[in-house]
Chain A
Amino acid sequence: MTSRRLEERRIAFQRYKDDVKREGKPFYPYAMFHDTVMSLVVVSVIVGLAFVWHYTDLLGPSLAAKADPGTTSFVPRPDWYFYFLFYLLRIFKWPNSVILGTVGIPTILLIVLIAMPFIDLRAERRLLRRPIAIVAAVLVALSMGVLTYKGATAKEPLGAELRAAVPGWVKQEKLPSNAVPGANLFATSGCLNCHTYLGSGGSQLGAPNLSAEGAKNKGITFQISHLKCPSCVNKGSPMPSFADFGEANLRKLATFLEASKGPK
């Protein structure tokens, strides 16, 4: 026995096919005309963007500096259509629930997306009679828009500006003098592209606030081995390795981090 609903759907689809056959218009030239115009618009927009990119600075530089694995300053910025995913990372606390942001939510969203026809089983197509679908669509569009916007406007701190903040850190955190070289290194080495420290930093990727990192008393040895290979120490950490900095610099950084017991 086929269910009544399935039977109704088949009849409705057959009626649709008969209606289209009787009253529809041929794809060529009618729909083809619309498609061709739209395709021309698309190609023109793409060519236009290429021109704007080449002749103006509006769309950013054509190339950044050559890739340098041993660099001390970098901005891990994905292409703009990944901003919404990257910005998700800010919502979750490190390190325990970060996996929700990196893998959990995107995977769930993808599964829901693929399973959509089996979640929404009603035949109704008129929008006003699908309130849940409208709300869901608006929420998804809104949250993706906001996350993309936040990702796009997240500030990339400049090393020079951050260096100027170091005396303030020394004052607020009562840093000992042996922590100052590390503080300068910290400010100018791109750490603040992901992390925050006393309100400085972009925290684009939602990496933890390090203002009170030293309060955890993990020790300088731990900090150095963490900087060398973050994911070895903190399983699943997406932080890149800073082993290329060299032992002396890492020790400075570690000293600074351990001295940071939070603002006093």
Chain B
Amino acid sequence: MPRKRNRKEQMLAAAQYPLDWLEERSGLIGGVRYFLFRKVPGDSGWWHTLGSATLTAFLVQLGTGVILAMYYQPDPNSAYESVQHITNDVTLGWLVRGMHRWGASIFIILMFFHMARVFLFGAYKYPRELNWIVGALLLPTALLEGFSGYLLPYDQTAYWATVVGININGTAPFLGPFLASFLRGGAEIGPDTLARFYSLHMLLLPGAILGLIGLHLYLVVRLGVSSPPWSEEAAGRERDEPPPVPGTGLVNPAPRGVTKRPD
């Protein structure tokens, strides 16, 4: 019997070893444990899923976008045909393209819903101001991603909507004309425009969105999820009576995570 238990322990240790190895060198396991088992307010519920739903929609865009990029040709002479090829010939190509096309809409809708939720809950208030700003920057970045992707099928709708869109950019004072000619890749819309939009849509903007989402999530985990403003639980509940006057550092120290400047 002891020999059997010994083997079981050995197996457990063997299974654990790679995790321990990783943890010792990176602290990743501890990080994941912290992320998973951090406490959230007891009455956070469905309202709080809009952010992760937006993230899911973005991940769908990443996955389907990678597949589309395997077949798409960013060249005015073959772009339209390659999209037709994806839709008609490639196995389940219509599904991947459809998911990418409509995933974009869902991504934008969910982003607006998430923003409305944060606004109505007053969740952007101290100390979460910075996270609101990151989110507010994500919105135009995502809209630009939608704008740059709209040209890629290179059909009439895409082409002329982009012509007018770029021209509208050009009406901006100072930077407008430069921005418009940068987007066009010259004085007129041509082959360079499509390649430019493709590069922005595939590299710069998704990279920016990923970076901003990373920062967004880091701040969510660091500052915690705010409870609903109508919360009946202790956590985060609004109180009418003024909070007690702060004592000196030892009795009533400044909260962790907030640097206290010397008075």
Contacts and interface: CB of A to CB of B under 8 A. Distances in A.
Interface residues of A, number: 91
B65 interface: no
B89 interface: no
A22 B44 CA distance: 15
Contacts of B39: 20-21, 24-27
B143 A81 contact: yes
Interface in A4-24: 7-17, 19-24
Interface stretch (B5-13, B96-104, B200-208): B96-104
B29 interface: no
Interface string B43-55: 0111011101100
Query: Which of A2, A27, A46: most chain B Cβ within 10 A?
Result: A46
B3 to A, nearest CB: 36
A246 interface: no
A62 B56 CA distance: 24
Contacts of A16: 224, 226-227, 235-236
B119 A53 contact: no
A135 interface: no
Interface in B109-137: 109-110, 116, 119-129, 132-133, 136-137
Interface string A69-108: 1010011111111100000010000000011001100000
A239 B165 CA distance: 10
B74 interface: no
B139 interface: yes
B229 A127 contact: yes
Contacts of A32: 36
Interface string B133-153: 100110110010011001001
Contacts of A49: 98-99, 102, 105-106
A141 B116 contact: yes
Nearest to B132: A117
Nearest to A46: B103
Contacts, number: 285
A240 B163 contact: yes
B155 interface: yes
Nearest to B46: A34
Given A54-B95, A126-B230, A20 B224 contact: yes
Contacts of A66: 80, 154-156
B16 interface: no
Nearest to A32: B36
B254 interface: yes
A125 B19 CA distance: 43
Interface stretch (B20-28, B209-217, B239-247): B239-247
Interface of B: 35-42, 44-46, 48-50, 52-53, 56-57, 60, 76, 80, 83-84, 87, 94-95, 97-99, 101-106, 108-110, 116, 119-129, 132-133, 136-137, 139-140, 143, 146-147, 150, 153-161, 163-165, 167-168, 170-173, 176, 188-189, 224-227, 229-230, 233-239, 242-244, 246, 252, 254-256, 258, 260-261, 263
Interface of A: 1-2, 7-17, 19-28, 30-32, 34-35, 37-39, 41-43, 45-47, 49-51, 53-54, 59, 62-69, 71, 74-82, 89, 98-99, 102-103, 110, 113-114, 116-118, 120, 122-127, 130, 133, 137, 141, 205, 231, 236-241
